Amino acid sequence: MAIDNLHQLLERIGNLIRNESRLGLMEHGLQPVQFDALYYLSVCNRFSDTPKGVTEYLGLTKGTVSQSIKVLESKGFLAKQIDPDDKRITHLVISEKGRALVAELYPSALLENVAKSSYPETLGLDLGLLETQLKTLLMIIQSQNQRKTFGQCATCAHLQTDSAGSHHCGLTQAPLSRNDTQLICIEHA
């Protein structure tokens, strides 16, 4: 397969999903970039729920992220909280309203409909294999371009588990709950 064909296919699928998202966000007065920030905050851990984390994950400017955060906060989708241990750190806490919006719009209904239909099987499309291949492609792109991986703690080199099955981060020395290990982190390695 020619790389220009792969690029066109990935871009076209992305555009279809983005347009679907844009339509769903119109009634809430949000743009896709604001929803992207909200989605990230719904799946990141307590070390990553900061303006810096959003900026690095989305690869946007601080100004764009700052404006997106202001809009999300003014519409009640998130709130800012000062870290109790380090007053220099501001955490972005997604509200129930924000979680409800993410649940409504993510994952894409377009993709869910494909997964629920008989088309993939009929056409010989293995969605599990496709997921694995796309993860590998993402990993290679991130590695070659020195981008952070933002992976789940469960797959991180810093995750440590003791003999009792308790988890903690070897980098921060913070204890991690089972739920924490399923969230993405800015410090993933």
Give the CATH number for residue 76. 1.10.10.10
DSSP states along 18-41? HHHHHHHHHTTT--HHHHHHHHHH
**Is 96 a domain residue?**
yes
Residue 108 located in a structural domain: yes
Residue 58 in domain: yes
Q: Give the separation between CA 154 and CA 178, rounded to whole angstroms.
A: 9
Question: Could you give the number of structural domains in the chain?
Answer: 1
**Residues of the domain holding 71:** 1-116
Handedness of CA 86, 88, 92, 95 (dihedral sign): positive
Question: pLDDT averaged over the chain?
Answer: 93
**Does residue 103 lie within any of the structural domains?**
yes
Q: How many CB atoms lie within 10 A of CB 102?
A: 17
pLDDT per position as a tens digit, 113-143: 999 998 888 888 899 999 999 999 998 998 8
With residue 91 as reference, give the H or E element that holds it: strand 90-94
Output the pTM of the full model. 0.88
